Amino acid sequence: MIQLMTDSAADMDAEEYEKNGITCVPISVSFGDETYQESVNLTKKEFYRLQEQKTEFPKTAQPSPQAYLDAFRKAKDAGDETIFLSMSSRISSAYQSAVLAKNMLNYAACHIIDTCTATGGQRILLEHAALLRNVGVAAKAIVDAVSELKSRIVIYACMDTLENLRRGGRISRAAYALGTLANIKPILHVTEDGQVTIPGRAQGMKRGMSFMLKKLEECPPDSAFPIHVMYTSDPEAGKRMADYLNLHHVGNVALQLWQVGAAIGAHVGPGACGFAYVRKG
């Protein structure tokens, strides 16, 4: 049997992980002294409610090495193969912790993939791996297919606030004040090697959407895969993004609309929206 595993940066709900037979190793989210486990005792909606109410800035922490050891040991003791899809090693050290746990268990049948992405991109790869597993594809072939597909993942998002960049030390107070006054919206992009970059800044969310649309047109989507439209705290922002794509571009490409979880939402902030898709090969 093949067990699929991931960390909670893949942004499925707990019910979706269970329905698809996927084990999720949760990322921790803290508000001051209060710590939660994403998709265990913290839902997406609850996270954004807490983010709005709390004075403390949310902090995330990768799963503990013990969490990986427990998940991998259970699969190994059952005699199963495991495929673990980790969020980008350029974003978090979760990948390295998973590799360490595999080596500590001497678990040769555990295949760990650095997805070089997160959120919608990671979810696309996980859904593809689940589809292949469910039709009886061997573990090695699934690993090869996911490893090929990950190079075609494209992610763009537009942040609605500069507050998270300021608190994270990415911009100065002066730049924050000036950018807020000018209604500047940073555009985030995850590169093919898994780094988060800011390729542009737009004055207002509508221009931010226009910027992202141009990037999509430069790199057209593969219609065999849906475009995942994502939003953080505001469902209307996600709906506007989906409507904008439908109006201007996507045609026969299916859209999936859903909320980003705490692992990524804690860093991009409320009001953000964007999309992830597979570009044509």
Provide the token pair at 191: 């590169």
Note the pLDDT tens digit of each residue in 62-114: 998 899 999 999 999 999 999 999 999 999 999 999 999 999 999 999 999 99
pLDDT at residue 184 in the model: 85
Q: What is the pTM of this model?
A: 0.94
Predicted confidence at residue 169, as pLDDT, reads 60
Q: In which region does residue 119 sit, left (phi positive, over 0), alpha (psi from -120 to 50) or beta (all else)?
A: left
- Three-state SS string over 243-275 comes to HHHHHHCCCCCCEEEEECCHHHHHHHCCCCEEE
- The structural domains of the chain, ordered by start, are 2-151 (3.40.50.10170), 153-278 (3.30.1180.10)
What pLDDT sits at residue 109? 98
Low-confidence ranges of the chain (pLDDT < 50): none
- 192's tokens: 């093919």
CB count in 10 Å sphere of residue 248? 13
Longest dimension (CA), the chain: 59
How high is the pLDDT of residue 248? 81
Taking each helix axis from N to C terminus, what angle separates 94-105 and 65-77, rounded to the nearest 10 degrees? Answer: 40
pLDDT for the residue 82: 98
pLDDT at 198: 87
Distance CA 23, CA 6 (A): 6
pLDDT of 252: 76
* pLDDT of 157: 95
SS3 content of the chain, % helix, strand, coil (to 5): 45, 25, 30
Residues 6+ apart with CB under 8 A from 203: 182, 183, 184, 185
